[in-house]
Amino acid sequence: MKLPPKFKKNPRILLFIIVAGVMLPLIAIMGYLEELENTKTHPSAILLIVMVFALMGIAKFRIKKRGYSGKRRGWNEQEKRQVRRRQNGKCAKCGDVPPRWEYHHKDGHRSNNSIWNCQGLCPNCHSVTTHDEP
């Protein structure tokens, strides 16, 4: 789902809309259950509220983690130099000096941008490695 630009600039708007859209019906449900049983707050309503807050926390974490833009952060030039130096200027797979460097996530997770998860490959080895992974 692509977010409108105003949400990218200020993700708190999106979080507010989510909270308002979830909390108002929850308050209504709690009032209904309380009226229905004429007792204190129903335990299932409390469980429902806890679950909603947990989901909101996960959503907030994911928004923060993505940096609001949805774009991936790759390795910077200094990190790429360190990888090339660690590999003695050679492709990690075939051992040749590549005409152009490409960088691969060893564990396959694009979000893991640790320098230890990076390996420099020649274009051919990178293509083979990427397309052979399940």
Q: Per-residue b/e over 45-68, b at no fewer than 16 CB within 10 Å?
A: beebbeebeeeeeeebeebeeeee
- The residue from 66, 87, 105 where one domain ends is 66
Q: Is residue 71 situated within a structural domain?
A: no
- Work out how many domains the chain is built from and give that number: 2
Per-residue model confidence as pLDDT tens for the chain (134 residues): 555 555 556 666 666 777 667 766 777 776 666 666 665 555 666 677 777 777 776 666 555 555 445 556 788 899 999 999 999 999 999 999 999 999 998 888 888 888 898 999 999 999 998 877 65
Q: Is residue 72 situated within a structural domain?
A: no
Q: Is residue 52 situated within a structural domain?
A: yes
Residues 57 and 82 in one domain: no
Tell whether pTM > 0.75.
Answer: no
Q: Is residue 99 situated within a structural domain?
A: yes
The per-type count for the chain, helices as H runs and strands as E runs, is 5, 2
Pair of tokens at residue 60: 């907030």
Structural domain boundaries enclosing 97: 77-132
Identify the pLDDT of residue 89.
94
DSSP secondary structure, 20-84, as one string: HHHHHHHHHHHHHHHHHHTSS--HHHHHHHHHHHHHHHHHHHHHHHHTTT-------HHHHHHHH
- The residue from 14, 36, 66 where one domain ends is 66
- The residue from 24, 40, 66 where one domain ends is 66
